[in-house]
Structure 1
Amino acid sequence: MTRRRVSLVRDGHVLSIGLDRPEKRNAADLQMLRELSLAYGELDRDPDLRVAVLHAHGDHFTAGLDLADVAPAVTETGLDIVPEGGLHPWQVTGRDLTKPVVMAVRGTCLTLGVELALASDIVIAGTSARFGQIEVSRAILPFGGATIRLPRRVGWGDAMRWMLTGDLFDAEEAHRIGLVQEVLDDDRVDARALELAHRIAAQAPLAVQVTLANAHRAVRDGDAAAEAELQPQLVRLLASEDAAIGHQAFLDRTTAEFVGR
């Protein structure tokens, strides 16, 4: 029986999703990509889950695609990695993920790993992290969204510097250009990502999801489209059970326990 490539651990309202092929530096074969897609689908569907931590087992986040396994599966219409019930983990096609993802990176993080960072909402990197969008050195292009998101995230010049050369860059450079938000010692990375995830999970879930969705709308459809939704969404949130809970907690000077309704 083939061992799973992606581990799933629930911790309250947080789902920890772990790339689990350390003997291959977590190189992603079709099985891993499809299991990752299903994990994102589970996160999105389950009302009890509010946020995910994406991490990797072993010393390295990912060495990129296992091209020997993946390349033969590419057809004229592309690569199908989303089974029924899954969501595309790079968010380049299909429905948007409605819940936040915090990503923890150590060691090598190549190609699809960078694109997972770009599709995540907060990225924490260890000092050992080395990033690389190296597709041009393999005679392919970044097809998981880096050509779209990296220039937007870090600026045109820095994006082209790293995508067109295929050079590797370290965690400090990733932090400088805005790909990652914090750089810590390797042994603190997973705990910090989990800490942030629990901090997000403690907030009002509907408010978190609407905030995330509105930011995505602005990026995808422009400022005017996002602005048009602000007041209607505010009215909707103010009518929620969580708004009443938050207001009462403010009056009582206690910590709100939100229910997601």
Structure 2
Amino acid sequence: MTDTSTDSAKVTLERDGHVLLIGLNRVDKRNAADLELLEQLALAYGELERDPELRAGFVFAHGDHFTGGLDLADIGPRIGADGLDMVPEGGINPWQVSGQKLSKPVVIAVQGTCLTLGIELILASDIAVAADSSVFGQVEVSRGILPFGGATIRFPRQVGWSNAMRWILTGDSFDAAEAHRIGLVQEVVPHGEQYARGLELAQRVAAQAPLAVQAALKNANVAIRDGDPAAEVALQPELVTLAQSKDAQIGMKAFMTRTTASFIGK
């Protein structure tokens, strides 16, 4: 396990094999996001995307709370005529609402307070685990703004129109059981176990054939963004490409010999 974080970093980075651990680290502010945290998070996503040795991301938060949302005292004055500029060169918008989509999967684990951009990070991720202590809130309308990190797009699609509008339009809070009921999170675990379970799932994803994982993720995103016909057209060409990879040979050999495959990403 390689630690590349610093004590002053508002987003810590650590490598655990092929998984990049991305930790929100503004504990004294309940991990509320100021511009510096947003920029560091964007750079972390850029690193995940570019590094061929990284196969999955795992997003978590230090402290008792995932995030209190935006630090409006810092962010509010920075919203200009074109919105909020928060992605430095080399970064990727973590909410992926700027036209660039991650090619690698992200697992996320939350606990305690999880407001606004925290929910939107879940919606922009692929698998989510919540501690039973988690309390969620899409509260932008109570602050005079709208969700701008993807909730208006993804929340209704993921949990159904009325389930999403119930929380987006009222700004009310809801608990982990409700988040699981509507499908916002995939698992609820006792408080304190969310990190280990989330990392376990991220490592499980990273152990699979990375080219195949990325192809499956890409095709699913094509279906959502461009519709079923576009995804269907891509299926057979993707299959042919993957079938010719070394990982496909490794996977077939492991199947025939009943051993565990060790994929190389080629």
Scaled to the shorter chain, the TM-score interval is over 0.9
Please point out which of 153, 162, 168 is paired with 1:148. 153
Alignment partner, residue 222 of structure 2: 217
- Cα distance, 1:253 vs. partner? 1.6
Q: Deviations over 1:74-115 (max 9, x none)?
A: 111111111111101001013110101100000000000000
Alignment of 1:1-261 (within 5 A): 3-261=8-266
Aligned equivalents of 1:42, 1:22: Cα separation in 2: 23
- Cα distance, 1:250 vs. partner? 1.5
Alignment partner, residue 3 of structure 2: none
Identity %: 66
Q: Deviations over 1:101-132 (max 9, x none)?
A: 10000000000000000001000000100000
Aligned equivalents of 1:195, 1:37: Cα separation in 2: 24
After the TM superposition, list the runs of 4 or more consecutive aligned residues in structure 1 that deviate by more than 6 angstroms. Answer: none
Q: Which residues of structure 1 form unaligned runs of 5+?
A: none
The count of residues paired between Structure 1 and Structure 2 equals: 261
- Cα distance, 1:162 vs. partner? 0.3
Aligned equivalents of 1:106, 1:147: Cα separation in 2: 23
Kindly provide the amino acid, as one letter, of the partner of residue 122 in structure 2.
Answer: A
- Cα distance, 1:37 vs. partner? 0.3
Kindly provide the amino acid, as one letter, of the partner of residue 145 in structure 2.
Answer: I
Aligned equivalents of 1:242, 1:154: Cα separation in 2: 35
Aligned equivalents of 1:2, 1:139: Cα separation in 2: 35
Aligned CA RMSD, in angstroms, stands at: 1.1
Query: What SS does structure 2 have at the residue aligned with 1:195?
Result: helix
Query: What SS does structure 2 have at the residue aligned with 1:186?
Result: coil
Change (3 A) 1:86 1:151: same
Kindly provide the amino acid, as one letter, of the partner of residue 62 in structure 2.
Answer: H
Query: What SS does structure 2 have at the residue aligned with 1:102?
Result: strand
Aligned equivalents of 1:215, 1:37: Cα separation in 2: 23
- Cα distance, 1:249 vs. partner? 1.4
Kindly provide the amino acid, as one letter, of the partner of residue 131 in structure 2.
Answer: G
Query: What SS does structure 1 have at the residue aligned with 2:136?
Result: strand
CA contact (8 A) 1:87 1:94 kept: no
- Cα distance, 1:248 vs. partner? 1.3
- Cα distance, 1:2 vs. partner? 9.3
- Cα distance, 1:28 vs. partner? 0.1
Query: What SS does structure 1 have at the residue aligned with 2:193?
Result: helix
Query: TM (normalized to structure 2)?
Result: 0.97
